[in-house]
Amino acid sequence: MNCYLCDSQLDLKPSWRDLFFMDPEETICITCRSGFERNGSGCRICGLAGAELCSECSYWETTEFRGAIDSGKCLYIYNQAMKEYFHQFKFLQDVVLAEVFADELAKAVRKAGAVAVPIPMNGEKLRRRTFSQVDSMLDAGKVGYIHLLQKNEEVQGEKTKEERMATRGLFMLKGNPVPKNIVLVDDMYTTGTTLRLAAKLLKESGAETVSFIALIRA
């Protein structure tokens, strides 16, 4: 088997652990894996390494979104290796790359102990890209989830940071019952606007706690 990213041959050596614990098979080589930078611990809301409350979350807590997100975790930093991975996965539509971080994402979601709710894609984007990267990672990690939200046709990626943070009314409920405890799942945390809009709507609709897991902190 070859590395999904650099195509070099993987050195897969069977062990007794493989027989008893059914560990997931590695999909990329050690060199490619070592290029990714894990996010440390820090901000109690968004998980950004460093301060107990980062400057962006401090700002959000002075707005109508105060308390919308109870806690969150971003697994990796958006460094050069992650940019290249994300480009190949998201924009070149290499769906098999969903497997690269699927196990790690699945463990984080399960640890949250809440109902997993993926952040949905804009409908036009989904038609263009043919798959949802968040759903694909959860499927690869064998994590159950429900779609509670529907996104309108605004494209957040085409907005400036200021425009994103001023966005309102991005989501609608799909009509399913809203669980008490929810963990939102997204591929990337940029300004936190998208996750807060989703969390606020869900809390207004009956959720008691809303946390999130994101693969990347930009």
* Averaged pLDDT for residues 120-142: 89
Same domain, 45 and 78: yes
- Structural domain for 21, as ranges: 1-34
Same domain, 12 and 92: no
Calpha distance 177→94 (Å, rounded)? 34
Same domain, 15 and 119: no
- Which residue is it, tokens 């939102």? 184
Calpha distance 140→99 (Å, rounded)? 6
Neighbours of 187 (CB within 10 A): 20
Same domain, 111 and 132: yes
Question: What CATH number is given to the structural domain containing 169?
Answer: 3.40.50
Same domain, 91 and 1: no
Same domain, 18 and 71: no
Same domain, 148 and 119: yes
Same domain, 12 and 68: no
State residue 162's pLDDT score.
Answer: 64
Same domain, 9 and 84: no
pLDDT in tens, 147-180: 999 988 655 555 576 666 656 678 999 999 999 9
Q: Which two tokens stand for residue 14?
A: 């069977």
Same domain, 131 and 95: yes
Same domain, 123 and 195: yes
What is the number of structural domains in the chain?
2
pTM of the predicted model over 0.75: yes
pLDDT in tens, 19-36: 444 556 789 999 999 999
Same domain, 85 and 162: yes
pLDDT in tens, 35-58: 999 998 889 898 888 888 999 999
Whether 135 has a pLDDT exceeding 80, the answer reads yes
